[in-house]
Amino acid sequence: MKSGYLRTASTFVQGAQTLAQRYYSSPALLDEEIEQLFRRRWMWVGRSDELPNAGDYLLFEKFGESVVVTRTKRGGVTAFYNVCRHRGTRMCGEPRGTFSETIQCPYHAWTYSASDGRLIGAPHMNEVEGFSRDDFGLHAASVHEWEGWIFVSLSRQPIAFEDAMAPVLTTFSRFNLAALRRVERRTYDIRANWKLILQNYNECLHCPTIHPELSRVLPYTSGANDLFEGEFLGGYMEILEPNESATLGGKACGVPIGDLPDDDRRRAYYYSLFPNMMLSIHPDYVNYYSVWPVREDRSIVVTEWMQHPDSLAGGYSPQSAIDFWDLTNRQDWHICEQGQLGIASRVYEPGPYSPRESIPAAWDRAYLSAMGHPGSSNAS
């Protein structure tokens, strides 16, 4: 959805090509991606304001795992696998709710502390020689709050969040993201490989033909990237006057999201956070996406919009921003689906990237490196 060409032309790698067909069509390769990327990385699961009070919880259910994320009495978050240590039963079935102080398995009533996962009740186990409740606490999952988002890792030994996110750990501080409030959530079912969606987001060469409404507000040749290599990519586009924001009609739909400098009030920022998050920052609202593979040719995208609390209190409506991106998103999803169909053809072979596609080419390099497939972009 963006170009940032002014700063990326010089970083373009001559000879860069699109990925080979198998990266979009192989169920076995998708299994490898889930193991190498999704189960080992930090994944967005929700917003901090979804757990306002001690005992509030939400379930994160992806890739065969179910994780309970809950707010502790001290105000932090903790996470446990939704697996009873007795006979493996899933304990929580509702996607969200509130614990009193304990989590109890509905099967045989093993009971755990909601704050630290300790086993505190196990009927009749006192009759088992050598049994100790200390040995059967819930399995913990790694969890971290950052900029108002909650992230979970399914890895037993994840990279420290601060290390994994080091290139962008403080990049967005000026945008007041932690204080923003969600105003809308939408889910899209897309018949395309998850990588096509990320690659499409990372360029705007397609914008004049696919997005006439967007192009009137955000010229595809405007802007620059500040992150143009590695797992975190993106930068800004200039909002074309007299437009004030990326909305239908071009008017701002709320107050500024923070105490922004003048330049930021005339720009929209677009970043992809590896492996599957996309972050779009506008002067008066923010929307973000998580992309989840379902099959090699099908993906689910969850997107939410946020505004400053003063916009909500002041009676502003985010609808013009929601409608703008719902239209733009559907245009993107359609062209991604057309790409999936074309790549499935027996005549498909990798094609060359142009300098205006240097960011998706960089995304491909980061992906191949993370998968342990360096140098194989045009392999059969």
pLDDT in tens, 134-189: 999 999 999 999 999 999 999 999 999 999 999 999 999 999 999 999 999 999 99
- 3-state DSSP assignment of residue 195: helix
Residue 7 has pLDDT above 50, yes or no: no
User: Do you know the residue count of the chain?
Assistant: 380
Report the CATH fold assignment for 5-40+170-371. Naphthalene 1,2-dioxygenase Alpha Subunit; Chain A, domain 1 (3.90.380)
pLDDT score of 212 more than 70: yes
**Tens digits of residue pLDDT in 10-38:** 466 888 999 999 999 999 999 999 999 99
Q: Quote the percentage of the chain above a pLDDT of 90.
A: 92
Tell me the C-alpha to C-alpha distance, in Å, between residue 284 and each of 41, 141, 310.
Answer: 31, 35, 11
Sheet holding 181-190, edge to edge: 181-190, 298-307, 286-295, 277-281, 267-273, 232-238, 224-227
Residue 60: both structure tokens together: 């994160």
Delimiting residues of CATH 2.102.10.10 domain(s) in the chain: 44-154
What is the torsion angle, in degrees rounded to the nearest 10, for the CA atoms of residue 325, residue 326, residue 330 and residue 333?
Answer: 70
Q: Which residue has the tokens 């497939």?
A: 373
Q: For the chain, where do the domains classified as CATH 3.90.380.10 start and end?
A: 5-40+170-371
Rounded to 10°, the helix 358-371/194-201 angle is 140
For the cut 50, the answer to whether the pLDDT of residue 190 exceeds it is yes
- Tokens read off for 165: 């996110």
* 26, 268, 279, 311, 366 from 263: Cα distances, Å: 45, 10, 19, 21, 30
Read off the tokens for 1: 């959805």
Average pLDDT, stretch 251-256? 97
Q: What is the pLDDT of residue 376?
A: 63
Q: Which contacts of 43-47 are long-range, i.e. CB under 8 A and separated by 24 or more positions? A: 43/151, 43/152, 43/153, 43/154, 43/276, 43/290, 44/149, 44/150, 44/151, 44/276, 44/277, 44/288, 44/290, 45/69, 45/150, 45/151, 45/152, 46/149, 46/150, 47/148, 47/149, 47/150, 47/182, 47/304
| pTM check: above 0.75 | yes
Answer whether residue 110 shows pLDDT above 50. yes
Residue 121 has pLDDT above 90, yes or no: yes
State yes or no: pLDDT of 85 exceeds 80.
yes
C-alpha dihedral, 25 to 354 to 287 to 23, nearest 10°:
10
pLDDT of residue 14: 83
Distance CA 203, CA 347 (A): 25
CATH number of 44-154: 2.102.10.10
Question: What's at 242, amino acid-wise?
Answer: P
Residue 1 has pLDDT above 70, yes or no: no
If phi > 0 it is left, if psi is from -120 to 50 it is alpha, else beta; for residue 39 that is alpha
pLDDT at 250: 97
- Listed in sequence order, the residues at least 6 apart from 172 whose beta carbon sits closer than 8 Å to its beta carbon are 147, 279, 281
